[in-house]
Structures are given as structure tokens and as C-alpha cells.
Amino acid sequence: MLLGALRGHGLLRGRRLGIDSSVIEANASLRALEHRNTEESYWEYVKRLAAEAGIDPADTKAVRRFDKQREGRRTSNTEWQNPHDPEAKVGRTKDGACDMIYKPEHITDLESGVIVSAEVRPGDAADHDASLCERVMASVGTLSEAAPEVPLEKLGAELCADEGYFAIEQIAELQACGVRTVIADPLAGRRNPARASQEHRRALHRASRATRSASGKALLRKRGEYLERSFAHLLDCGRLRRATLRGCTKLTKRQKTGALTYNLSVLLRHLFGVGTLKQTLALSRAALIHRFLRLLAWITALVTPRNTPTTPDRNLFPITLETKPSHA
């Protein structure tokens, strides 16, 4: 419904999409890790190794120093898991520390910044895994529901992402679906196209040509603007950088709720000039009253039957800001 309203006000085109992921801290601790086979806790495992090395296991500080400095230290997600949150994975947080993490992913319209799809994936999931094309096509299906009058081949016609999303198999699959991929190849200087198949060579040529083109460079600049903005609003300003729920399903619901409020702020900013509560409170009292009446009229128009006009008149409550007289 909200994407349809954004589409009705010209804020959702759906032709150029961008995809990116970030990192959030899971509601789980490294101290509670258990070995998948023996169910031995990580701390007991380290104390056993310290005792074998001649260190008193009762000395907590000495055991911690030993754990940091021991050779061959490796915490693999294939061997260790958190029993309280099995879907949380060991990885690097935004500031580079090692912790239990998840990876939120956004697919955004690069012409308005509207979030089309939001999902939280396991922390060890690769950006360019085999489900990349499936995730992009799912967002195209969401766009087709919001804009049924637009031909399906024009929705998601271009996809922009960073180098982490480049995989020749996925690039070829996306291009076979009619998507123009603007994704740089991180191995372009070391890749030998002669060893690839003819289909992959054509996919590499199309991807390289799209990245070097003027439209592709402009799309990459928009990707850095709109995608990073959505993550900053939801994760940093919205305080979703640290999870309070557990499991990808629950975290995805929470992430979609945040994306819903973000899209609503885009619509409110277009209609009323303000998109957040702080911006509203910063207005003068007279302007606040007029904008509240316009919001009330817009909500009333949304709940009216369909046989009546659903778009409120933007000039129904004209806004006049109070100006202070200037002193000479």
C-alpha cells in the first residue's frame, strides 16, 4: 500500500535498483559458543588448552592472554555455534571487532531512495551467493504489485552494486533475465577471459562496458548516496545496529518495519516538507497547525471509499510561515 502511494506521487520508478548489505551485532555472546560435535563450551575449550600449555586455568587473565596469543586460533562457524541463537555467526562488526553478527540487505530505488526490499541474512552469507538473482527478482515482483501498469521488463532493468556482489555465474544469470548489471569486477586485472565459456565472456564484456559508461558511473554515485543513507537512518539513527531479537525471521520483520517508516518519511517529506518528528517540532506554531491539518486531510482521504477522490488537495490548507520584522 505504501509503495503504491509512493508510486502515485511519482516517488517510485522501479527501473534502476541498487543492492547493498551492512552488519548488525547479534543478541548473542561469544562466551556462550559451543562446539557443534562435542557441545563443549568455548571457555572450557580454552581453559583445557591453557592447562595443557602449563597455565593455571583458574587464572582468568592468564587464560585470556593465552587465548589471544595462541597459534592457530580459529573460530569457524562450521565448528562453533551459539545455542541460544544458532543463526548468528562469528564475524567482523562495523568497527572491526570480532562478534556475533547478522547482515541486513536493502534493495533500493536509485531514483528516489525508497527501500523496495529489506532482509536480514546470516552473518556468513556471501553477497554474491546463488540466491542473488532470486532476491532481485523477488523485489521486481514487489514492484510489479505496486505498479501493475508498468511492463514487467521495465522494472528492475538496471542493478547497481559494489564489488562484493560480483560473481560471473550470478552476473550471467541476471543478464539472462534482462537486467543490466552495473557491478565492477574485482578480479578484472587478473581474470583471463579466454578460459571462460562463451556465455561468461559475453557477460563479462557487458558488465565491463556498463561499469565504464557515463550512465553506469552516474548510477554508482547514486548507489553511494541512497543506499548508505538508508543504512545510516535505520541502523545508526534508528538504533538497529545492535539486535534485540534473535533469528533471521524476527530480525527481517523488524528491518522491514524500519524500512516502512523510512519510506513513510520520504512520502511525508514530499507532501508536507517534513519527514521526522524533530523537523516538525522545529517549525513555528502556525506552520505546525497548518501542516497538521493537511496531514489530517490526507489521512481522511485515504480512509474514504474508493469511489471518492483519494488524493487530498495540496492547496487545501495553504502554509504561511510567520516572519519576524527586520530591524534596521
Per residue in 247-256, pLDDT (tens digit) is 999 999 999 9
- For 25, 161, 197, 252, the CA distances from 81, given in Å and listed in that order, are 15, 31, 39, 21
H-type alpha helices, the chain:
2-8, 42-52, 60-69, 132-146, 168-176, 198-212, 214-231, 248-272, 277-281, 285-303
Helix (H) or strand (E) holding 21: strand 16-21
At residue 328, the pLDDT reads 39
The Cα 180–Cα 24 span in angstroms is 30
Residues 6+ apart with CB under 8 A from 112: 6, 11, 12, 13, 226, 266
Residue pLDDT tens, the chain, 328 long: 799 999 999 999 999 999 999 999 999 988 899 998 888 998 899 899 999 999 999 999 999 899 888 887 878 898 999 999 999 999 999 888 889 999 999 999 999 999 999 999 999 999 999 999 999 999 999 999 999 999 999 999 999 999 999 999 999 999 999 999 999 999 888 888 888 899 999 999 999 999 999 999 999 999 988 999 999 999 999 999 999 999 999 999 999 999 999 999 999 888 887 777 777 677 666 676 777 788 888 888 877 766 555 454 444 444 444 444 444 3
- What is the rounded distance in angstroms from the CA atom of residue 259 to the CA atom of residue 3? 11
Cell triple for residue 327?
Answer: 530591524
Residue 190 is predicted with a pLDDT of 87
The predicted pLDDT at position 316 comes to: 45
Query: Across the chain, what does the average pLDDT equal?
Result: 87
